[in-house]
Structure 1
Amino acid sequence: MKKILLLPLLDSLPSGHHQVANTISEYVYNRSNDIKCKKIDIMSRWNPAFESMLTKTYLWWIQKNPKSYARAYRKFVYQPDNQRTYKHYEWMFQRKMKDILDDENPDLIVCTHAFPSYLVNRLKRLGECQIPTLNVYTDFFINDVWGEDMVDYHFVSNVGMKYSLKNNHHIPNKNIFVTGIPVDESIKQATLNQRSNDKLNIIVSGGSAGLGSIMECIRHTNPYKQVNYYILCGNNERLYKDIRNMKAEHIHPLPYISSRQKINELYSLADAIITKPGGVTVSEAVKKRVPIFVHSVLPGQEEINLAHLLEQGLVFTIDKEAPITEQILEVLNSKEKMDKYKRSQKLYLDTLDFQDPDDIYHFIISILGSREKKLS
């Protein structure tokens, strides 16, 4: 039986890296009984207590001192390889990654986070790993931590990332595929979104952890008889209870929804979504052709995501100081703005090399087949 090893990071944090790893596994399991997919977080494998502490520190830092975190993030991820100052830790994790690869002996490595990609890339550069490796990028840009030159294949989110890999890292065109960020195949692609004549349904999302300035966003929503807000609270139970206690008729808090089919149904009823610029949520909304409004940005990668999404015309931003409902209605009722937005969505979707989960699955099968021929 063939084995695919998927490498996200931080098991305690339900991030897009894990969601995408799960999505790739799902694509495979829905089509084959002869391939095993296994997901490993190197931090948890090395020291579960340290992984938990690191996750808690991250969540505390981005909420208590976001500007400081943003500065640290940019300094860390935009640093040339020869200027890195954590060589001792790098060597330690590199050894751990080598142990994991030796123990698991996979036929394909799929990295959905930059750090494991960096470690695998270094092992390949040293000749200590000959396993085919695929980077699946989960943001709309590429930071300097990702391993690139020795990685065999790259699934990028947009054409700009493809040009970056080709021009800045000399990756052959044949090894780069514009796939968008893979999303659960329960999220069915929609035709151009058409507003209903009934009440306006607006989703408010802060990601699976319920992060972002959701309460601040809600306080700026005026009650309209024709508008309903559905708040995805994720795992944030306190947020769910706080919103429920508001007892506002136009605001409907929803606890964590594990079923992607139910999420798909919710998207299908939505006229707009208010969210932060996380890779998976934005990609789901684009696939469903739902207009996207950004209400808040987590420091670090989401700030950079937002800049790229605005450049591509895939999101609108919300002024936190002004009534939110009026801002959304102004955009949705503007034929000029919506026509331009729909063109941007269509252009983005038309540039994807792989339009269907079947395409990704068959590409993975081709990698596994090529490896089998080389070993035989």
Structure 2
Amino acid sequence: MSNNKKILIITGSYGNGHISVTNSIVNQLNRMHLPNLTVIEHDLYQEAHPIINSIAKKYYINSYKYFRKSYRYFYYANQDNPKKCFYRYYGLNRLINLIMKEKPDLILLTFPTPVMSIIKKDIGVDIPVATVITDYTMHKNWYTPNSNRYFVATEHTKSQLVQYGVDPSIIDVTGIPIHERFNEEVDRNAWLTNNGLQPNKKTLLMVAGAFGVVGGFDEMLATLTEESDHQYVVVCGNNTQLINTLKAAYKDNPNVLIIGFTKEMAGWMASCDLMLTKPGGITISESLCKSIPLVFFNPAPGQEGENAIYFTEKGFSRITNSYEETTATVLELLSDEHQLKQYKENMQKHYLPESSKNICMSLMQLLESTNSQSIATSKAGLYARLFAK
């Protein structure tokens, strides 16, 4: 890249997925050693409306348990009409300020940002826009008219985008970017042995921390340990109360390992035989890389529920809706070597490696092929264009 270029990344901090994808792409760009490239990241909604955004994030987190019906309504409302979005103008003023200040040559979205449609179509700002869709099914808020490039997880997602009228030639099926450590080989036997577990036993990875406010892991773990001699690794995240409770209850059980927040999920996914978690886009992409079959307990409606359905239809996972069904399913799968092997093989066939690298190469081509002009008008002039519509 001969000339100085700037990429403005718009992301969001609802869960860790969008930030994780952003970090994966930025890390890849750094590894490419591009001295003429500047990358700037902004959490648009947090910067534009911090108080409202904080409330919205709490609603989103608690929607898993307390607000499922209302979240289902908001997620599925007017799916066929992208213009009908109650927060379509949300963050507009902040986004205009960012564009005028930074003068980016390319805007990359790693978070559904309907206000970008206003910028591109209604105001007519001619800056290339690319989008990384971080789930396995399409939602209308990812769609930006006059966008230049989409990066999606699967052919299924691509076909859904095409139904919105997007030209198939600007949609790249790349998979979802994950951290580069997931590509490293792991010695399963050594990993389990070094963590005090036995390599000859089937091992369940229970990601309790992924469920936030949802309880029930202690009850399920009690049933599982009573009814089998399998091993259980419980990742509690930052839930100190759950960590202390479970460590006290299982301090004398060699088949149970309780851990808190860990950066070693790649090692655990590579070493365990089955994972119980919620179907967040990044977690399941990591599981696809490591070919670890999944059980989704009572997935929330919306994008995670759609992810769970897609993974189950592809033969990567099972969905359960109660504690009893979950424990029965886990024990059934851990005892069925043929089924686990089939799930693993299905995942290996569908995994797309080097997602971050392929996305970044495409972004560089997009930068080289476009000559984005700086906005030659005032902020008032941009709003005048909008009101003229």
TM-score (norm 1): 0.83
Report SS of the residue matched to 2:300.
coil
Correspondence list, 1:256-295, <5 A: 256-257=261-262, 259=263, 262-295=264-297
Correspondence list, 1:150-229, <5 A: 150-166=146-162, 168-188=163-183, 198-206=200-208, 210=212, 212-213=214-215, 215=217, 216-223=219-226, 226-229=229-232
After superposition, the Cα gap between the structure-2 partners of 1:120 and 1:324, relative to the gap in structure 1 and judged at 3 Å, is closer
Whether 2:102 is the aligned partner of 1:104: answer yes
Amino acid in structure 1 at the alignment position of 2:167: P
Partner of 2:245: 242
Partner of 1:368: 367
CA distance in 2, matches of 1:209, 1:3: 37
Partner of 1:30: 31
Bigger shift: residues 334-343 or 137-146: 334-343
Deviation at 1:286, TM superposition (A): 0.9
Q: Is the 8 A contact 2:6 2:105 kept in 1?
A: yes
2:46 to 21, 44, 47: 44
Q: What do residues 77-117 of structure 1 show as CA deviations (whole Å, max 9, x unaligned)? A: 62513544x4xx54453233222222222222121221x2x
CA distance in 2, matches of 1:223, 1:332: 15
CA distance in 2, matches of 1:294, 1:23: 25
Bigger shift: residues 277-286 or 18-27: 18-27
Amino acid in structure 1 at the alignment position of 2:270: S
After superposition, the Cα gap between the structure-2 partners of 1:356 and 1:136, relative to the gap in structure 1 and judged at 3 Å, is closer
Q: Is the 8 A contact 2:48 2:94 kept in 1?
A: yes
CA distance in 2, matches of 1:306, 1:330: 19
Whether 2:344 is the aligned partner of 1:348: answer no
CA distance in 2, matches of 1:334, 1:208: 26
Deviation at 1:3, TM superposition (A): 2.5
Deviation at 1:221, TM superposition (A): 2.0
CA distance in 2, matches of 1:2, 1:241: 50
CA distance in 2, matches of 1:177, 1:133: 14
Deviation at 1:159, TM superposition (A): 0.9
2:111 to 107, 110, 113: 113
2:300 to 274, 291, 298: 298
Deviation at 1:126, TM superposition (A): 2.5
Q: Is the 8 A contact 1:15 1:208 kept in 2?
A: no
Partner of 1:64: 66
**Structure 2 residues not aligned, in runs of 5+:** 193-197, 375-389
Partner of 2:380: none
Give aligned-pair identity as a percent.
23
CA distance in 2, matches of 1:47, 1:347: 43
Amino acid in structure 2 at the alignment position of 1:342: K
**Structure 1 residues not aligned, in runs of 5+:** none
Deviation at 1:184, TM superposition (A): 0.7
CA distance in 1, matches of 2:286, 2:318: 16
Q: Is the 8 A contact 1:313 1:344 kept in 2?
A: yes
Q: Is the 8 A contact 1:5 1:109 kept in 2?
A: yes
After superposition, the Cα gap between the structure-2 partners of 1:363 and 1:276, relative to the gap in structure 1 and judged at 3 Å, is same
Amino acid in structure 1 at the alignment position of 2:23: N
Amino acid in structure 2 at the alignment position of 1:16: G
Amino acid in structure 1 at the alignment position of 2:311: L
Number of residue-to-residue matches in the alignment? 359
Q: Is the 8 A contact 2:224 2:331 kept in 1?
A: no
After superposition, the Cα gap between the structure-2 partners of 1:4 and 1:245, relative to the gap in structure 1 and judged at 3 Å, is farther
Q: Is the 8 A contact 2:7 2:40 kept in 1?
A: yes
Q: What do residues 214-253 of structure 1 show as CA deviations (whole Å, max 9, x unaligned)? A: 5254344224774222222223333333323333523322
Report SS of the residue matched to 1:286.
helix
Correspondence list, 1:313-324, <5 A: 313-318=315-320, 320-322=322-324
Partner of 1:129: 125
Deviation at 1:63, TM superposition (A): 2.5
After superposition, the Cα gap between the structure-2 partners of 1:279 and 1:65, relative to the gap in structure 1 and judged at 3 Å, is same
1:142 to 120, 129, 138: 138
Q: Is the 8 A contact 2:204 2:232 kept in 1?
A: yes
1:231 to 220, 231, 234: 234
Deviation at 1:156, TM superposition (A): 0.9
Amino acid in structure 2 at the alignment position of 1:129: V
* C-alpha RMSD of matched pairs (Å): 3.0
Choose 1 or 2 for highest CA Rg: 2
After superposition, the Cα gap between the structure-2 partners of 1:219 and 1:80, relative to the gap in structure 1 and judged at 3 Å, is farther
Report SS of the residue matched to 1:63.
coil
CA distance in 2, matches of 1:356, 1:59: 28
Deviation at 1:213, TM superposition (A): 4.6
